């Protein structure tokens, strides 16, 4: 058995197991991540955040002294970016005395990101550039009362990781009717060779949308930070907006997305809810 120290946190109920490994000496494989994120046998979470120095990440070419957010999905797969995870990561750094200041830099696989603690307790993350594709993607899921399946034309959005955003306003389906227990399919199939996050969106009011998401490697989650950024920018294109903010409601709460192709922002809560020790079997 292996004994590890952990923390647990969430941002709008998108929850994460946090493991500190300053020098990158702890071997964490896919089975370990699946065990820790298991909601019955482990701690439970949508993913795992490993807190390590950037010097321990071979592919990082920037400042080696930065903290690196090494994010894994619940199935053990590596993801480039996680917006809610970024806020939780920084909240952990602050509470552990590992970072402070008006702007906290974090190294990620999507590049350098900065996070600002706000006076009201929320955190505002710089999310980098947002890129929307012109060619639509068809997303299909099973909808019981529509027969075997329902299909939408989705907008492909890159927020450092891939997304496909579907709007429900032109269909007879509401967000609550969707069954996101299984992964939707998309065509062309080779559009997302490493998989994608898929958002389904309803427009509530001007600059106010609601969203559910199926995250690759995790299934349906109560929130997806990069997904809210993708959904807000896809909405902005449809509505002809070029700046300002969009409120995005998710099952776990709500966040505010600042529009910007070169530097979008994501503002929302983050909280650490537990700290403790856990024992992992040697042979998972």
Q: Average of pLDDT values for 213-219?
A: 93
Q: Is 100 exposed, middle or buried (0-12, 13-18, 19+ CB in 10 A)?
A: exposed
Q: What is the pLDDT of residue 54?
A: 97
Residue 254 neighbours by CB under 8 Å, 6+ apart: 12, 247, 248, 268
Q: Which of 28-37, 179-188, 192-201, 242-251 has the lowest mean pLDDT?
A: 179-188
Q: Residue 207 sits in a domain of what CATH number?
A: 3.10.310.10
The residues assigned a catalytic role are: 82, 224
Q: What is the pTM of this model?
A: 0.94
Evaluate if residue 224 carries a pLDDT over 90: yes
Q: Check pLDDT > 70 for residue 146.
A: no
Distance, C-alpha 6 to centroid of its chain: 20
Whether residues 119 and 152 fall in one domain? no
| Residue 136 sits in the same domain as residue 81 | no
Same domain, 7 and 38: yes
Nearest Cα to Cα of residue 257 among 160, 159, 133: 159
Compute CA distances 255 → 123, 124, 130, 135, whole Å: 10, 10, 17, 28
- The pLDDT of residue 142 is 60
The residue range of the domain holding 153 is: 131-261
* DSSP 8-state code for residue 217: T
Instruction: Note whether 250 and 217 are same-domain residues.
Output: yes
Q: Are residues 119 and 142 in the same domain?
A: no
| Residue 89 neighbours by CB under 8 Å, 6+ apart | 18, 49, 51, 67, 69, 106
Do 188 and 255 lie in one domain? The reply is yes
Does 197 count as an annotated binding residue?
yes
Between CA 284 and CA 280 the distance in angstroms is: 8
Residue (of 35, 26, 20, 3) closest to 284 by Cα position: 35
Q: Which of 71-75, 112-116, 150-154 has the lowest mean pLDDT?
A: 150-154
The reply to whether 106 and 151 lie within a common domain is no
Are 91 and 272 contacting, i.e. CB atoms less than 8 angstroms apart? yes
Is 220 annotated as a binding-site member?
no
> For 159-202, what is each residue's pLDDT tens digit?
999 999 999 986 777 898 888 888 888 888 889 998 999 999 99
252 labeled part of a ligand binding site: no
Q: How many domains does the chain have?
A: 2
| pLDDT for 149 beyond 70 | no
155 three-class SS: strand
**How is residue 238 written in tokens?**
């449809």
283 is in an annotated binding site: no
3-state helix, strand, coil in the chain (%, to 5): 15, 45, 40
149 and 243, same domain (yes or no)? yes
């Amino acid at each position: 058995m292996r004994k590890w120290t952990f923390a647990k946190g969430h941002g709008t109920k998108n929850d994460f197991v946090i493991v500190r490994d300053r020098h990158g000496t702890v071997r964490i494989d896919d089975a370990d991540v699946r065990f820790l994120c298991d909601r019955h046998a482990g701690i439970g979470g949508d993913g795992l955040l490993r807190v390590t120095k950037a010097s321990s990440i071979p592919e990082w070419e920037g400042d080696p002294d930065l903290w690196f957010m090494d994010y894994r999905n619940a199935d053990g797969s590596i993801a480039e970016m996680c917006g809610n995870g970024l806020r939780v990561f920084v909240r952990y750094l602050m509470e552990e005395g590992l970072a402070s200041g008006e702007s906290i830099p974090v190294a990620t696989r999507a590049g350098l990101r900065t996070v600002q603690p706000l006076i009201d307790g929320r955190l505002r993350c710089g999310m980098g550039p947002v890129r929307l594709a012109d060619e639509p993607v068809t997303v299909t899921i099973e909808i019981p009362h529509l027969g075997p399946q329902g299909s939408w034309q989705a907008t492909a959005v890159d927020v450092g990781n891939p997304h496909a955003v579907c709007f429900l306003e032109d269909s007879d389906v509401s967000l609550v009717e969707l069954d996101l227990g299984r992964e939707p399919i998309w065509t062309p199939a080779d559009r997302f060779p490493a998989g994608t996050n898929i958002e389904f969106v309803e427009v509530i009011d001007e600059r106010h949308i609601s969203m559910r998401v199926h995250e690759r490697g995790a299934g349906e989650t109560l929130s997806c930070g990069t997904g809210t950024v993708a959904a807000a920018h896809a909405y902005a294109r449809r509505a002809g907006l070029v700046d300002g903010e969009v409120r995005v409601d998710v099952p776990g709460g709500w966040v505010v997305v600042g529009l910007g192709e070169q530097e979008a922002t994501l503002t929302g809560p983050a909280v650490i809810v537990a700290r403790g020790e856990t024992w992992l079997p040697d042979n998972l």
